[in-house]
Amino acid sequence: MDMRAKALFNVEGLTAVVTGGATGIGYAYAEAMADNGAHVTLLDVDAGALDRAVAALAARGATARPVVADVTDRPALGKAIAETAAESGRLDVVFANAGITAGPGFLTVEGERDPDGAIENVPAELWDRVVETNLTSVFATIRSSVPHMKAQRNGRIIVTTSIAGLRPSAVVGIPYMIAKAAASHLVRQAALELAAFGVCVNAIAPGPFLTRITTPGLRAIWEKALPVHRVASTDELQGLALFLASPASAYVTGALFVIDGGSMLGRAD
């Protein structure tokens, strides 16, 4: 086996789909794949952001196929994945990444009780919307991808979860915490079932990254509390994304990779 980095991390010619690929973390995954020669479909509900993402990739000399779709619209999601697979004749890598925030936690960033985040006041509609977007859509993305990957006996599914799914937090809305925790377990269960078919399923659990879901209040808390005292930029996720999409991770499945500047370790000062 060729152990040079170029071969180990080779994603050239692979067909990849990134949900929520127009901005933030999903765009960073897409950029890493496209810069290294993969054919990327960006699926996102935000048409304007998709246009900007495709233009940004074009400016780097890479191309991507945009699809405007809502991951909670299961027929539209299934159609987009099936069309990508049909056009390329294969489906190699799927990033189930689209996600939304979930309102306040039970404490404000100043440490006061926030009635809006209190468990008894969380609107049922908010719970449903967050679970639908951050959990059910991950299941739907995996469900739509698996037939193609099983048929070719090869595939990579990479789910963006969160450190919020690994331990409770006072400042993050409860529907988000629970949806991400369940998505982490979905990764392990799907990995167990699909291992025999050459399909690897793994999770990236980011800590604080600067995207449009990072509020100034949360940023300030994180900068103070994090062992590294800084919030990361999304390009710091690209190495891990490439690893999980490439031959370098062929024996890795059912794993969850925390990338959080030491946040899970606790306070260092």
Ligand X SMILES: NC(=O)c1ccc[n+]([C@@H]2O[C@H](COP(=O)([O-])OP(=O)(O)OC[C@H]3O[C@@H](n4cnc5c(N)ncnc54)[C@H](O)[C@@H]3O)[C@@H](O)[C@H]2O)c1
Nearer to ligand X among residue 76 and residue 107 (C-beta): 76
Decide: 167 and 122 in contact? Cβ < 8 Å.
Answer: no
Q: Is 29 a catalytic residue?
A: no
Within the chain, how many helices (H) and strands (E) appear?
A: 9, 7
Q: Which residues bind ligand X (CB under 6 A)?
A: 19-20, 22-26, 44-46, 49, 70-72, 97-100, 133, 160, 162, 206, 208-209, 211-214
Sign of the torsion angle spanned by Cα atoms 65, 70, 74, 75 = negative
Pick the catalytic residue from 27, 29, 176, 251. Answer: 176
Q: Rounded to 10 degrees, what is the CA torsion of 76, 80, 82, 83? A: 130
By C-beta, is 122 or 159 nearer to ligand X?
159
- What span, in angstroms and rounded, lies between the C-alpha atoms of 162 and 176? 9
Sheet holding 199-206, edge to edge: 64-68, 39-44, 15-19, 93-96, 155-160, 199-206, 256-259
Dist. CA 121–CA 114, nearest whole Å: 10
How many whole angstroms separate alpha carbon 116 and alpha carbon 54?
38
Which is nearer to ligand X, 88 or 214 (by Cβ)? 214
| Close Cβ partners of 125 (under 8 Å, ≥ 6 residues apart) | none
The DSSP secondary structure of 203-247, one letter per residue, reads EEEE--B-STT--HHHHHHHHHHSTT-SPBPGGGGHHHHHHHHSG
Break the chain down into helix, strand, coil percent, rounded to 5: 50, 15, 35
Q: What number of residues does the chain have?
A: 269
Q: Which residues are catalytic?
A: 176
